[in-house]
Amino acid sequence: MREVFEPTSLDELEQVVRWAVAEEAPLEVIGRGSKRGLGRPVDARAELRLARMSGIDMYEPDELVMSAAAGTPLIEIEAMLAERHQELAFEPADYGVVLGGPANLQSIGGVFACNLAGPRRIKAGAARDHILGVQCVTGHGETIKAGGRVMKNVTGYDLPKLLAGSYGTLAVMSRITFKVLPAATDRATLLLSGGDMTKLLTALRRAMGSSCEVSAAAVLPERATARSAVPEVAGAGRALAALRVEGTATSVGYRLDALMRVVARPAGLEAIRLGADATRRLWREIRDVRLVDALAPLLWRVTCAPTDAAAVAARAAPLDPEILFDWSGGLVWLALGHVPADAGCGQIRAGLAPGAGHATLVRAPEELRRIVPPMHPEPVLLEGLTRRVKQGFDPKGVLNPGRLAAAI
Amino acid sequence: MDMPEPDGAILARQSEIVARLRALVPSEALIVDEALRRVYECDGLTAYRALPLAVVLPSTTAEVAAVLALCNAEGVKVVPRGAGTSLSGGALPVTDGIVLGTGKLNRILEIDLENRTVTAQPGVTNLAITRAVEHAGFYYAPDPSSQIACTIGGNIAENSGGVHCLKYGLTTNNVLGLELVLPNGEIVRLGGKHLGSDGYDLMGVITGSEGLLGVVTEVTVRILQKPETARAVLIGFPSVEQGGSCVAAIIADGIIPGGLEMMDRPAINAAEDFVGAGYPREAGSLLICELDGPAAEVDQLVETVASIARQHGATFLKVSESEEERLRFWAGRKNAFPAVGRISPDYYCMDGTIPRSQLAHVLQRMRAMSEHYGLAVANVFHAGDGNLHPLIMYDANRPGELERAEAFGAEILKLCVEVGGVLTGEHGVGVEKRDLMPEMFTEADLAQQQRLKCAFDPAQILNPGKVFPRLHRCAELGRMHIHKGAIPFPDLPRF
Ligand SMILES: Cc1cc2nc3c(=O)[nH]c(=O)nc-3n(C[C@H](O)[C@H](O)[C@H](O)COP(=O)(O)OP(=O)(O)OC[C@H]3O[C@@H](n4cnc5c(N)ncnc54)[C@H](O)[C@@H]3O)c2cc1C
């Protein structure tokens, strides 16, 4: 049985890391465990769980800032923000179910450590765009802080951004300070149909290139629409493009009209409108990847330039995936019902030219994630740099070794 | 300000080093003549000057790589430079090193309206990016007041902001891809036109790294469609306190204005004298609140802001009725620095950020300091995000005044840290705030930042003497202080 440490204070956390460093004992660093299945499996001697380092220690709504211990459940944070009509603008996704566990489990530390953003990524940025400061224990066994609590800060390197998306491989975050924003008072979705995939994807880009401040843009192939619990979507019987606008009621109505004028009519697409509640439900389904088969053995997440979306899907077509396009086409979800030996790398990852995007194997059996790198492999010079950065933070390799890549 | 002791051996090899550089770049890309080198001896922080060994102006990534590889191998220091508008001495040369300027890397490489991106070489100016796409209604959002001159490469290095960054983000939130040359000549590419990459967010740390990690040779940024309408509201208050609480109330109401700027009376008057923007001279503070978006929404927001302002004691309120008027409202604010430059022989621009709730307290303490040092100060303030620009007025020709201005400035920045803020919001640490870093960071914090530096630049040839008060050798920083058997098994709750 592996040891499980659950520190309750920064002091205890530091003790665990120092012990691991002294013993060169690899630790699996876990917030509340909702995303353990994401990335390469970690072979660790002990688990370090942050669930008992929990609690919101500062929230100043007029200053748009909050600070919380890393293990604080996201739902607790979202509930407190909702009381003041605020939110995390990057719309954190919940991969709990997709990764075979429950929903609503994740911690704020995990949200930032994995830098996962939902549909509003295209307008509001990712988790990394909202992190302001961190306190953490590095693989040197030292507690450090970086960043601050103010919105604008260039004092020293932006280490909070480096830690966002580092999957606990550089330092264990103990406390995070982040930006929060007012939540919109109204929202609606325009559902467009009557065109093929190319036409619908073009409509997304046209909408994003307008001044309508679209906050989310997705294309749902027919199979995806059938999985929705929103009647207007489920009953569509054909592929849909979905455009979300958020703001005050006046502004939402005005912008929906504008989208009809600049996007729907010129393309000859039919349109219906979804109200606030249905909008909320639909985009939660998209955010949490519920419109492709949640039980499919393999799930790929491909980021690319929006104009490459159709090509990404076409290359994967021989694998017969269920597909969902988010981020105006810049995010392509591919769920595979069977398991090719290379997990589909040949069609999905190999087709992406260097710099053209990343393909992440989000869901796959553990044995396969040891053979096929779940994270998009880096070119050799960049990998060298990555290794030196890791070395600088965690020279003994005790923090989540192997999670990002075998050599990291 | 102490800079690292110049390396005598390098100084002695100047002509040999120049000869080696000559083999790597065309002759017009190498500046050796002393009078011409002088042009590069300082940046926007003119109090500090140093003459570099040579100035190199490469025009390709390959040339940048070759120059860096040579300098790295020979131990020659390199100071990257864009337009030289840094206000923190980030581009200040060192006498035993070269300046690597991006003046000839000045081409826009690709405009991709469909994906809403522009890819440019680092020497392209901030404004040129907007100019290149405005025919199609697009613009590049971060808009530093220096945007006519400053380069996109410099913006990356400083993570520059502008008056619209409360709503649209800083440089770091608008960059999608970078090409970076490491000191050893290796070329790495990060990001691209896609959002979200696996692996460490190295783009995130390079942005704001003040030229210490590598030379940026290509940048891909996100462009946005111009808002349908934008209107600015000028609001005058009897006191700074009232202005401050109005800002808090606007944001508490759920409004994120496109711009939200504040000026105190000395700044209002200096700006009014200079551009005649129609500011109320008698006001204790002036807010410029810009609301943008669809016309229907903007009209509604203008109403709301006006009513909040009245509740907070506004004594002056004017809404722009035309694009011309909106620009005039901004002209005063955007020219605040030169406006202060007209009424004082010299001024020293500070750049701390504070939690907004501390504004009144900080300004009050600043008034006391102003009396103590016998130097006047005018304040312009990115009010929405708490970024304060006190402009300390002094006369460098009067003995001791520069030193007094610097001491005053340092005291302001320490105050910013004391109230929960930071030393610099957007101008960078450079040489200027280098020695104040320990006010904000512990030894351990700074050591970890320097370990990051070592991953990129183990020989520490890039921009030495900036940001970090003490240089440590990378080998020393890498040493582990915890050894096997030293720590007992932790006595902690476990399962
Ligand atoms: C009147 C005035 C108003 C200003 N207003 C603002 C403002 O509103 N907001 C704001 O944020 N700043 C402002 N600034 C500061 C300054 O303009 C910015 O910091 C700007 O981004 C610097 O760009 P530059 O091209 O002049 O860079 P430089 O001054 O040449 O260099 C700045 C730093 O960047 C590094 N660097 C430059 N190019 C590269 C490269 N290609 N690769 C790696 N490192 C590089 C240099 O080594 C140096 O450390 C203002 C300055 C002035 C003089």
Tell me if A153 and B422 make a contact (CB, 8 A cut-off): yes
Confidence category of residue B1, pLDDT binned at 50, 70, 90: confident
Tell me if A254 and B296 make a contact (CB, 8 A cut-off): yes
Confidence category of residue B349, pLDDT binned at 50, 70, 90: very high
Tell me if B199 and A375 make a contact (CB, 8 A cut-off): yes
- Rounded Cα distance, A42 and A64, in Å: 36
Candidates A4, A210, A384; nearest CB to B494:
A4
Condensed to tens digits (0 to 9), the pLDDT of residues A161-214 reads 999 999 999 999 999 999 999 999 999 999 999 999 999 999 999 999 999 999
Confidence category of residue B494, pLDDT binned at 50, 70, 90: low
**Chain B residue with minimum CA distance to A256:** B294
Residue B480 or residue B325, greater confidence: B325
| Residue-wise DSSP of B209-249 | STTSS-EEEEEEEE-EEPPSEEEEEEEEESSHHHHHHHHHH
Residue B492 or residue B233, greater confidence: B233
- Rounded Cα distance, A342 and A344, in Å: 5
CB B420 within 8 A of CB A149: yes
Query: Mean pLDDT for chain B?
Result: 95
CB A171 within 8 A of CB A10: no
Of A12-21, B151-160, B473-482, the least confident: B473-482
In angstroms, what is the span from residue B381 Cα to ligand 1's centroid?
19
What is residue A5's three-state secondary structure? strand
In angstroms, what is the span from residue B45 Cα to ligand 1's centroid?
11
- Rounded Cα distance, B314 and B306, in Å: 9
- pLDDT value at position B495? 53
- Closest by CA to A297, choosing from A372, A225, A358, is A372
Tell me if B194 and A181 make a contact (CB, 8 A cut-off): no
DSSP state of A184: P
Ligand 1 neighbour B143 (Cβ under 6 A): no
- How would CATH label the architecture of A186-287? 2-Layer Sandwich (3.30)
Query: In the sheet that B108-112 helps form, which strands lie side by side, from edge to edge?
Result: B108-112, B117-120, B215-222, B175-181, B187-191
- Rounded Cα distance, B305 and B11, in Å: 60
- Closest by CA to B197, choosing from A121, A71, A261, is A121
Q: Using the Cα atoms of residue A164, residue A170, residue A173 and residue A176 in order, give the sign of their dihedral.
A: negative
**Chain B residue with minimum CA distance to A141:** B482
- Closest by CA to B193, choosing from B175, B206, B209, is B175
Fold designation for A49-182: 3.30.465
CA distances from A3 to A139, A254, B232, B416, B489 (A): 19, 58, 60, 44, 11
Q: What six digits make up the tokens of B362?
A: 């900080």
- Rounded Cα distance, B363 and B244, in Å: 11
Q: What six digits make up the tokens of A346?
A: 């040949």
**pLDDT over 60 at B368, yes or no:** yes
Q: What is the mean pLDDT of residues B443-459?
A: 97
Interhelix angle B240-252/B295-311, rounded to 10 degrees, is 140
Torsion of CA A164, A166, A172, A175, to 10 degrees: 10
- Rounded Cα distance, A303 and B192, in Å: 10
- Rounded Cα distance, A163 and A120, in Å: 21
CA distance B139 to chain A (A): 11
Asked if B443 is an interface residue toward chain A (Cβ–Cβ < 8 A), one would say no
Protein residue closest via CA to atom 50 of ligand 1: B146
- pLDDT value at position B459? 96
Burial letters for A344-369: b for 16+ Cβ neighbours within 10 Å, e otherwise? bbebbbebbeebbbbbbbbbbeeebb
Asked if B449 is an interface residue toward chain A (Cβ–Cβ < 8 A), one would say yes
Domain ranges of chain A: 49-182, 186-287, 298-380
**pLDDT over 60 at A58, yes or no:** yes
CB A358 within 8 A of CB B197: yes
**pLDDT over 70 at A404, yes or no:** yes
| Residue-wise DSSP of A29-94 | EESSSTTTTSSSPP--SEEEE-TTS--EEEEEGGGTEEEEETT-BHHHHHHHHHHTTEE-TT----
CATH class of the domain comprising A298-380: alpha beta
CB B115 within 8 A of CB B191: no
- Rounded Cα distance, A407 and B6, in Å: 39
Ligand 1 neighbour B153 (Cβ under 6 A): yes
- pLDDT value at position B471? 81
**pLDDT over 90 at B488, yes or no:** no
Asked if B339 is an interface residue toward chain A (Cβ–Cβ < 8 A), one would say no
Query: Measured in whole angstroms, how far is the alpha carbon of residue B80 from the centre of its chain?
Result: 15
Question: Within 13 Å and on the Cβ side, how many CA atoms surround B402?
Answer: 10
Ligand 1 atom at shortest distance from the alpha carbon of B337: 1
- pLDDT value at position A2? 83
Ligand 1 neighbour B209 (Cβ under 6 A): no
| Residue-wise DSSP of A280-319 | HHHHHHHHTTTTS-TT-SEEEEEEE-GGGHHHHHHHHGGG
Dihedrals phi, psi of A222, to nearest 5 degrees? -55, -40
B55 C-beta neighbours (distance < 10 Å), count? 24
CA distances from A103 to A283, A318, B62, B245, B488 (A): 16, 32, 50, 40, 38
- Rounded Cα distance, A304 and A326, in Å: 11
Burial letters for A74-88: b for 16+ Cβ neighbours within 10 Å, e otherwise? beebeebbeebebbb
Condensed to tens digits (0 to 9), the pLDDT of residues B397-426 reads 999 999 999 999 999 999 999 999 999 999
**pLDDT over 70 at A96, yes or no:** yes
- Rounded Cα distance, A204 and A219, in Å: 8
Of A18-32, A368-382, B46-60, B475-489, the least confident: B475-489
**pLDDT over 70 at A45, yes or no:** yes
- Residues 124-143 of chain B with CB under 8 A from chain A are 137-138
Calculate Rg over the CA atoms of chain B.
Answer: 24
Tell me if B254 and A185 make a contact (CB, 8 A cut-off): yes
What is residue B418's three-state secondary structure? helix
Of A136-145, B239-248, B437-446, the least confident: B239-248
The shares of helix, strand and coil residues in chain B, as percent rounded to the nearest 5, are 40, 20, 40
- pLDDT value at position B493? 62
Ligand 1 neighbour B427 (Cβ under 6 A): yes
- Rounded Cα distance, A49 and B470, in Å: 36
Place of tokens 């930006």: A179
Bridge partners, residue A65, by sequence: A60, A179
- Rounded Cα distance, A309 and A330, in Å: 6
Domains and CATH numbers, chain B: 8-101 (3.30.43.10), 108-225 (3.30.465.10), 229-337 (3.30.70.3450), 345-429 (3.30.70.2740), 435-488 (no CATH)
Condensed to tens digits (0 to 9), the pLDDT of residues B191-230 reads 999 998 999 999 999 999 999 999 999 999 999 999 999 9
- pLDDT value at position B70? 98
Write down the ipTM of this complex.
0.97
Candidates B161, B357, B492; nearest CB to A5:
B492
Query: In the sheet that B387-394 helps form, which strands lie side by side, from edge to edge?
Result: B316-319, B229-237, B285-293, B259-264, B377-382, B387-394, B346-349
Q: Please name the residue ranges forming H helices in B126-239.
A: 126-133, 152-158, 165-168, 202-206
- Rounded Cα distance, B84 and A182, in Å: 38
Mutate to test the interface with B, among A15, A120, A153, A304 (most CBs of B within 10 A): A153
Q: What six digits make up the tokens of A78?
A: 């979202």
* pTM exceeding the 0.90 threshold for the entire prediction: yes
Domains A186-287 and A298-380 agree in fold: yes
CB A224 within 8 A of CB A291: yes
